[in-house]
Structure 1
């Protein structure tokens, strides 16, 4: 998954206050990634990637949040 894709995913999930149980938010992420990056990812793949970012790749998650903060 590219940095731009992760940036888009984190942006949508943070705005919607995603907690892992809201299917509508995940559908929105799938559509956005398909539209903007022309990639197809399943909801389960994105859910796992979100979990990995939050738990295992905290430095990358912080970097993404910094980029999002600067863009606002």
Structure 2
């Protein structure tokens, strides 16, 4: 049985943490995209769901991690 080295252990730990960070960043975005996609499939103009007088637009600027911050000049 080959002897394992500490270097291999720390490389394995680094890969696990990297995958966890990628999941933490990408999973909420993937869930939002799937939510928009499913709601667009369920949306029917002939039979609207909810209050037809209420107008809602998806807020594309909000996310868990903003790679490009939006500067708001008011």
Query: Which band: TM-score by shorter chain?
Result: under 0.3
Rg (Cα) greater in structure: 2
TM-score by length of 2: 0.24
